[in-house]
Amino acid sequence: MKRFYTIIVAAALLLSVSQCKKDKESQTSNNDNNDHPIITNSVGFSVSDSVQVMFAPGNLNATSSDGYTWSWSFASSQDAFIGDHYSNNCVSGALTSCPGTVDLFGWVGASALWDTYGINNSQDYHQYGLYSYDTLKTEWGTLANEAALCGYNNWRTLSDGEWAYVFYGRADAGKKHAHGNVNGKNGMILLPDVWTLPSGLDFYTDTIWNGNIYNADQWAQMENNGAVFLPAAGYRENADVEAVGEQGYYWSKSADYADQANTILFDVVFDEGQLFTCISSYRYNGYSVRLVRNIDD
């Protein structure tokens, strides 16, 4: 897969979904069930000098029973993802050949002639927009807002600069993210601006997947204090899903070049944890989406 690295320092839609419960209760492993808690702590994550956000309680999902119409939801838990099985690797054109849930989406710019919300395995970059200043043709947050996911209508996608600020710009940013493993899933852990480590647990910043390992009970304590987990869900190129459990790619809303857009990437190479917050990548690649909402809205 072709990637260009730039590190920053510093279809008709069926929009129906069950409400997320706002109270703290046990999570479910059923990926089609949205009855799980949203993070409601008063603490948040600064994405600029003046804006704080809360993260959605799981990656964005699109589910279809016929391969044409889609309903939108969040994954059942922060560590849940589809991976290299079922609908993710059945994407064909603007539909799936085996109806179910997908969670790896292409980036579609406003200049694109079609609008399938990134559910397409075409590798013709012309179909994804032609301008470096493109906005998202349909902001993923709009889909979540029309479905009132978790009872909110202010979901949105972070820009590349906002992603970079979370990792590098806020106070003590270097102490508030690390590779880790939650419920057997590799990924990236983010801590909120105001953080208290639960008693009896550890958190290490200079580590790889096996440096921060949390079982379900331990992660529940971390999550209750505001921690966020981005699983290494891999990526889709054409209809092939690769690097599951090895790499995590998350789209920003920011275009880059005529056929690319910016994302974050984290992985482990040669036993060293890697993180890139501004990678220019082809829009036709299928990546994860984690939405946020502004705390003050």
pLDDT value, residue 20: 52
pLDDT value, residue 189: 96
Cα–Cα dist 161/247, whole Å: 21
Which has the closest alpha carbon to 141: 37, 50, 53, 24? Answer: 53
Q: Which residues of the chain have pLDDT under 50?
A: 1-19, 21-42
Give DSSP secondary structure letters for 22-62.
-S-------TT---S-----S--EESSSS-EEEE-SS-EEE
pLDDT value, residue 111: 93
pLDDT value, residue 109: 95
**12: DSSP letter:** -
β-strand pairing of 52-55 with 292-294: antiparallel
**Domain span holding position 76:** 3-294
Number of domains observed in the structure of the chain: 1
Q: What is the pTM of this model?
A: 0.87
Cα–Cα dist 69/131, whole Å: 28
pLDDT value, residue 249: 95
pLDDT value, residue 166: 95
Q: Is 125 exposed, middle or buried (0-12, 13-18, 19+ CB in 10 A)?
A: middle
Cα–Cα dist 156/219, whole Å: 25
165 Cβ contact partners less than 8 Å away, ≥ 6 residues apart: 10, 46, 47, 48, 173
Cα–Cα dist 237/6, whole Å: 21
Cα–Cα dist 281/264, whole Å: 10
